[in-house]
Amino acid sequence: NAGVTQTPKFRILKIGQSMTLQCTQDMNHNYMYWYRQDPGMGLKLIYYSVGAGITDKGEVPNGYNVSRSTTEDFPLRLELAAPSQTSVYFCASSRYGRNKNYGYTFGSGTRLTVV
Amino acid sequence: DQQVKQNSPSLSVQEGRISILNCDYTNSMFDYFLWYKKYPAEGPTFLISISSIKDKNEDGRFTVFLNKSAKHLSLHIVPSQPGDSAVYFCAASGSEETSGSRLTFGEGTQLTVNP
């Protein structure tokens, strides 16, 4: 039972390059999310999806794009990488609805450095 | 506009004593609150949650208290153990209809439990 899997774990990009951060979950969760964590800043929501084919912006969407063609996968695309996108990126998923154990399952993160 | 704030970046306690982590929020639409624990190089993991209809929820050594009038919640860990050393994030959510299951996170508090 893998949960939420993120690849790659580390990446160094040059300014202006682009890349895709991969995220896949095997729990049949409807909701998926992308967060970034900057030092001392907590986690900021980039994009989220409530189901296949549906995505929406979070707090800090500029410079990113997402797609959700399947329930399992929610890739995050960085176009024209900038030093401000240096961060740790976390993908998460959750089951629709509120229950006693309402919470996200997070991946282990992707550490991205833009130089 | 930081809607969830953890004003203490760090906390150090002795093994066996109580750890108290605090969190304040400003959005009165929040009605569900969660705590996550994060170890280095790992994703956050769900710890405990509380609905706004309650003022206390307990799970083993972990208890979360909610004071709605003060818009304040706290996490108590008793007794503290060295393995509890981690970053603790407070998170809040509104209803499914208003927030789509999105969580807003605080900045995190680094807890260090000394043997």
pLDDT in tens, B18-28: 999 999 999 99
Position A103 scores a pLDDT of 75
Mark yes or no for CB contact A102/B34 under 8 Å.
yes
Q: What is the mean pLDDT of chain A?
A: 91
| Interface touch A43/B105, C-beta < 8 Å | yes
- Which 29-58 residues of chain B touch chain A by CB within 8 A? 32, 34, 36, 41-46, 49
Task: Judge residue B45's burial from the number of C-beta atoms within 10 Å of its C-beta, 0-12 exposed, 13-18 middle, 19 or more buried.
Answer: middle
Whether the CA torsion A58, A5, A103, B22 is positive or negative: it is negative
Q: Find the closest chain B residue to A9 by CA distance.
A: B41
Element (H, E) at B74: strand B72-77
Is A43 in CB contact (< 8 Å) with chain B? yes
Q: What is the mean pLDDT of chain B?
A: 92
CB contacts under 8 A, B 95-114 vs A, are 96, 100-108
A78-106 tens-digit pLDDT? 989 999 999 999 999 988 654 445 578 99
Hunting for tokens 């967060």 — which residue is that? A35
Domains of chain B: 4-114 (2.60.40.10)
- Residue A21, pLDDT score: 98
Residues of A in contact with B109 (CB under 8 A): none
Is there a contact between A43 and B41 if contact means CB atoms under 8 Å apart?
no
A23 pLDDT band, cuts 50/70/90, is very high
The residue ranges of DSSP E strands in chain A, in sequence order, are 4-7, 10-13, 19-25, 31-37, 43-51, 54-57, 64-66, 76-78, 87-94, 105-106, 110-114
| Segment A23-34 mean pLDDT | 93
Domain parsing of chain A, residue ranges: 4-97
Residue A39 has pLDDT above 90, yes or no: no
How many residues does the structure list for chain A?
115
Looking at the complex, does the CB of residue B82 fall below 8 Å from at least one CB of chain A? no
Q: Which of A44, A102, A108 sits opposite B42 (nearest CB)?
A: A108
CA dihedral of residues B105, A48, A2, A77 (deg, nearest 10): -110
DSSP B84: G
Q: Is B41 exposed, middle or buried (0-12, 13-18, 19+ CB in 10 A)?
A: exposed
Of the residues B45, B53, B103, B104, the best mutation for testing chain A's interface (the one with the most A CB atoms within 10 Å of its CB) is B103
- Cβ contact B89–A43 (<8 Å): yes
Measured in degrees and rounded to the nearest 5, phi and psi for residue A19 equal: -160, 165
Q: Which residue has the higher pLDDT, A88 or B97?
A: A88
Query: How confident is the model at residue A113, as a pLDDT?
Result: 96
Interface A-B, measured as beta-carbon pairs within 8 A, has a size of: 64
Q: Indicate the class that CATH gives domain A4-97.
A: mainly beta
**With an 8 Å Cβ cutoff, is A96 touching chain B?**
yes
- At B12 the pLDDT is 98
What number is the average pLDDT over the span B5-13?
Answer: 96
